[in-house]
């Protein structure tokens, strides 16, 4: 499992500041933050570029608009685009306010998301 520990710590800090109840789960080649037992945010390394990236589960309604934000692209982890999920490259989360933006989006959708996996 390859992921950037510093980025993971940044995500943890924001989730703690938001008082989110979460647990971490190693999957999809990285680390996923499960909020309310639902996939919310993930951190891994893009094998094509070697750069850290974030996965955010933001929902289908926010998806098209999110793709216009800097550093975002479709999540195609399985070779198929997963609408409602985006990858964010470093230029989209280097600044704390940008990281907070994506985590807040993912947390806002989490309320409506279906459960993905149990502990």
- Residue, of 119 and 66, whose pLDDT is higher: 66
Instruction: Count the domains in the chain.
Output: 1
Q: For residue 75, how many C-alpha atoms fall within 13 Å in the half-sphere facing its CB?
A: 22
Q: How far apart are CA 21 and CA 33, in angstroms?
A: 10
The answer to the question of residue 93 being in a domain is yes
| CA distance to 2, 7, 29, per residue, from 96 (Å) | 22, 11, 24
Residue 85's pLDDT is: 96
Which residues form the domain of 92?
A: 5-110
**SS3 state at 34:** strand
| Residue 83's CATH number | 3.90.1150.30
The answer to the question of residue 118 being in a domain is no
Average pLDDT for residues 22-44, to the nearest whole number? 95
Q: Which residues contact 79 (CB under 8 A, 6 or more apart)?
A: none
Q: How far apart are CA 74 and CA 116, in angstroms?
A: 20
Q: How confident is the model at residue 4 (pLDDT cuts 50, 70, 90)?
A: very high
């Amino acid at each position: 499992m390859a992921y950037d520990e510093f980025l993971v710590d940044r995500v943890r800090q924001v989730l703690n500041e938001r008082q989110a109840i979460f647990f971490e789960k190693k999957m999809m080649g990285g680390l996923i933050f499960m909020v309310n037992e639902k996939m919310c945010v993930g951190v891994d390394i893009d094998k094509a570029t070697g750069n850290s990236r974030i996965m955010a589960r933001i929902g289908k309604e926010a998806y098209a608009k999110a793709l216009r934000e800097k550093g975002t692209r479709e999540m195609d982890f399985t070779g198929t685009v997963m609408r409602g999920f985006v990858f964010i490259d470093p230029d989209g989360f280097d600044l704390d306010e940008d990281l907070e933006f994506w985590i807040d989006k993912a947390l806002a959708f989490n309320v409506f998301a279906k459960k993905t996996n149990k502990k």
